[in-house]
C-alpha cells in the first residue's frame, strides 16, 4: 500500500474526530422517534418500526465494515473515507426527499447511510493505531470520541439549540423531520471530506520519536504480520471477545434507542412534570459521557491493561443496568434518569476504545483494520437485538401495560454484561504456537485470501 507522511501525527487525530462527528449521526436517531411514532402525526410509525430503522443502520454499518477492512488495503484509507462520507450524506438526503414511509426511511437511513458509516468508521481506528502504537488505548478512544460527542450535537441541534431544527426547519417544502435529514446529509458529507485529507498511513517502518517498547520481540509482534482474519477466527479468543463486545453493546444500544421513550413512560407514570425536558437532558448527558468514556476507558486501559479494563467496564455496566429501573428511576426520578443514562453512556462508550485496542494487542497492529471488522460484527448483532428488545416492550406498554414492563429488557441486558465480564476473566492473549496451529487448518491459500 502506498504510504504518506504528515507534518504532525496529531493532525490524524483531528481528522479522525471530524469524521467520527459525522458518523455519530445514527446515535441521534432517538431525537426523531417521538415525532415518527406520534399516533396523530404525519408518519404514525410503531416503536418497533423505528427500532427496525435504527437496527438496520447498525447492522448494515457492521456488515459493510467487514468488507471495508478488506477494500481499504486496495483503495487506501483516504479514498475509503471519502466514499463513506458521500454514501452517508446521500442516504440522509434521499431520506429527506423520499422518507415519507417506513420502507423509504428503512432503505435510505438504515441501509444507505448505514453503509456509508461502515465504509468510513474503521479508517480512523486503523490509521490511528499505526501512527500511535505507543498509545493505542488513548488514541482509539480519541479517534472514536467524536462518534459519541457527535450524537450530542445532532440531538441538541435538532431538538433545542437555536430553537431546534425540528421546530422550524422546512426546506424544499419538506416537513421538519425530512428537512433535518437533508440538512444533516450535507453537513455530514462536508465533515467527512474535510477529515479525509489526513487519513493516510505512516511509512511501513514508522516508530514514534522516543518510543521504546519493553522488548524488541513485543515490537515485532505488534508491528509484524500478526494474525490474519482467517487465523484469528479460528481462535477461541476471537469468539470470547465477540461475545463480550455483543453483551456490552446490547445494553448500550437498547438505552440509546429507548432513553426518551422509557423516560417518558416512567416519569409521566410517576407524575414528574416536564418529562420531555428531562428525557432530552438525559439523552444529551448520555451522549456526552459516551464520548468521555471512549477517551477515559482507553487511557485507563493503557495503564491497567485491556483485559482488566474490559472486565471492569462490563461488570460496572451490568450493575448499572440492573439498577436502572428500581434504583435510578423508582427512587431518583428525574435526576436518577439523567445519572443512570450518564453511567450507561460512559461504559458503552468505553467498548469503542477497548475492543479495537485489544484486537490489536491480541492479533497485531498490521491487520487491525481487517480483524476489527470481524470483531465488530458483534455490534451488528447487538444493533438488532438491543433496539428491538426495547421496541417490543415499548409497544407492550403502549398497549395498556404498566411502565414496569421496561424492567425485563434492563434485566436481560444487565445479566448479559455480567456474563461478559465473567467470560473475559478466562480469556488470555493467543500465543505464536496457537497462531501456527490455527494456520495449519486452512492452509496458506485460505489464510491469504481472508
In a domain, 443, yes or no: no
The overall average pLDDT reported for the chain is 80
Among positive and negative, which fits the CA dihedral 142, 69, 345, 99?
Answer: positive
In percent, the amount of the chain with pLDDT more than 90 equals 20
Instruction: Render pLDDT for 232-284 as a digit per residue (tens, 0 to 9).
Output: 888 999 999 999 999 988 888 777 766 777 777 777 777 777 777 777 788 77
In a domain, 442, yes or no: no
- The CA distances from residue 176 to 166, 186, 263, 407, in Å, are 5, 16, 24, 33
Instruction: Render pLDDT for 392-417 as a digit per residue (tens, 0 to 9).
Output: 766 665 555 566 767 777 888 889 89
| 53 close to 29: Cβ distance less than 8 angstroms | yes
| pLDDT at site 334 | 75
In a domain, 395, yes or no: yes
Which SS3 state, helix, strand or coil, does residue 40 take?
coil
The pLDDT confidence band at residue 445, using thresholds 50, 70 and 90, is very low
What is the average per-residue pLDDT within 335-350?
A: 87
In a domain, 4, yes or no: no
Orientation of helix 10-23 relative to helix 77-98, angle to 10°: 20
| pLDDT at site 432 | 58
- The CA distances from residue 181 to 17, 49, 108, 150, 225, in Å, are 21, 18, 10, 15, 43
C-alpha 231, offset from chain centre: 25
In percent, the amount of the chain with pLDDT more than 70 equals 83
Cβ atoms < 10 Å from Cβ of 143? 32
What is the average per-residue pLDDT within 74-83?
A: 88
Instruction: Render pLDDT for 9-36 as a digit per residue (tens, 0 to 9).
Output: 888 888 888 998 898 888 778 788 888 8
Residue 158 domain boundaries: 12-202+227-433
In a domain, 101, yes or no: yes
What domain count does the chain have? 1
Top-confidence residue, 53 or 311: 311
| pLDDT at site 365 | 74
| pLDDT at site 397 | 58
Cβ atoms < 10 Å from Cβ of 160? 17
The pLDDT confidence band at residue 48, using thresholds 50, 70 and 90, is confident
In a domain, 399, yes or no: yes
Helix H, strand E, coil C: the string for 41-82 is CCCCCCHHHHHHHHHHHHHHHHHHHHHHHHHHHHHCHHHHHH
The pLDDT confidence band at residue 4, using thresholds 50, 70 and 90, is very low
CATH number assigned to the domain comprising residue 306:
1.20.1250.20
List the alpha helices (DSSP H) in 132-175. Answer: 136-159, 165-168
In a domain, 277, yes or no: yes
pLDDT at 213 over 70: no
Q: Give the closest residue to 321 by CA, choosing from 228, 252, 222.
A: 252
pLDDT at 422 over 90: yes
List the alpha helices (DSSP H) in 160-175. Answer: 165-168
211 CB-near residues (< 8 Å, 6+ apart): 133, 134
pLDDT at 315 over 90: yes
- What is the pTM (predicted TM-score) of this model? 0.71
In a domain, 439, yes or no: no
Amino acid at each position: 500500500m502506498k504510504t504518506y507522511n504528515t507534518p504532525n501525527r496529531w493532525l490524524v487525530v483531528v481528522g479522525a474526530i471530524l469524521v467520527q462527528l459525522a458518523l455519530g449521526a445514527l446515535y441521534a436517531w432517538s431525537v426523531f422517534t417521538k415525532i415518527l411514532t406520534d399516533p396523530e402525526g404525519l408518519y404514525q410509525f410503531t416503536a418497533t418500526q423505528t427500532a427496525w430503522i435504527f437496527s438496520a443502520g447498525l447492522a448494515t454499518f457492521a456488515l459493510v465494515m467487514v468488507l471495508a477492512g478488506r477494500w481499504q488495503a486496495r483503495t487506501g484509507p483516504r479514498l475509503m473515507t471519502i466514499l463513506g462520507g458521500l454514501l452517508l450524506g446521500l442516504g440522509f438526503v434521499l431520506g429527506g426527499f423520499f422518507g415519507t414511509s417506513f420502507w423509504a426511511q428503512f432503505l435510505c437511513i438504515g441501509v444507505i447511510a448505514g453503509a456509508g458509516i461502515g465504509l468510513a468508521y474503521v479508517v480512523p481506528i486503523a490509521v490511528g493505531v499505526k501512527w500511535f502504537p505507543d498509545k493505542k488505548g488513548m488514541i482509539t478512544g480519541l479517534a472514536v470520541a467524536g462518534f459519541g460527542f457527535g450524537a450530542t450535537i445532532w440531538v441538541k441541534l435538532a431538538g433545542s439549540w437555536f430553537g431546534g431544527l425540528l421546530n422550524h426547519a422546512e426546506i424544499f417544502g419538506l416537513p421538519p423531520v425530512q428537512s433535518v435529514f437533508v440538512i444533516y446529509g450535507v453537513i455530514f458529507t462536508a465533515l467527512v471530506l474535510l477529515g479525509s485529507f489526513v487519513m493516510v498511513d505512516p511509512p511501513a517502518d514508522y516508530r514514534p520519536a522516543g518510543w521504546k517498547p519493553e522488548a524488541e520481540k513485543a515490537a515485532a509482534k505488534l508491528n509484524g504480520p500478526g494474525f490474519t482474519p482467517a487465523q484469528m477466527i479460528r481462535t477461541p479468543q476471537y469468539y470470547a471477545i465477540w461475545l463480550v463486545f455483543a453483551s456490552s453493546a446490547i445494553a448500550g444500544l437498547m438505552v440509546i434507542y429507548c432513553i426518551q421513550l422509557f423516560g417518558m413512560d416512567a416519569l409521566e407514570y410517576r407524575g414528574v412534570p416536564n418529562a420531555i425536558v428531562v428525557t432530552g437532558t438525559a439523552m444529551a448527558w448520555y451522549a456526552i459521557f459516551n464520548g468521555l468514556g471512549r477517551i477515559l476507558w482507553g487511557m485507563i486501559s493503557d495503564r491497567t491493561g485491556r483485559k482488566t479494563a474490559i472486565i471492569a467496564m462490563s461488570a460496572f455496566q451490568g450493575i448499572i443496568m440492573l439498577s436502572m429501573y428500581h434504583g435510578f428511576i423508582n427512587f431518583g426520578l428525574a435526576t436518577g434518569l439523567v445519572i443512570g443514562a450518564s453511567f450507561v453512556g460512559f461504559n458503552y462508550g468505553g467498548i469503542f476504545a477497548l475492543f479495537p485496542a485489544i484486537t490489536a494487542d491480541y492479533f497485531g497492529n498490521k491487520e487491525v483494520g481487517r480483524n476489527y471488522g470481524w470483531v465488530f460484527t458483534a455490534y451488528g448483532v447487538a444493533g438488532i437485538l438491543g433496539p428491538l428488545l426495547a421496541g417490543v416492550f415499548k409497544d407492550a406498554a403502549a398497549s395498556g401495560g404498566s411502565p414496569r414492563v421496561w424492567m425485563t429488557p434492563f434485566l436481560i441486558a444487565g445479566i448479559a454484561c455480567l456474563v461478559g465480564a465473567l467470560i473475559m476473566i478466562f480469556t488470555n492473549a493467543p500465543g505464536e504456537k496457537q497462531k501456527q496451529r490455527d494456520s495449519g487448518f486452512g492452509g496458506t491459500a485460505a489464510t491469504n485470501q481472508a
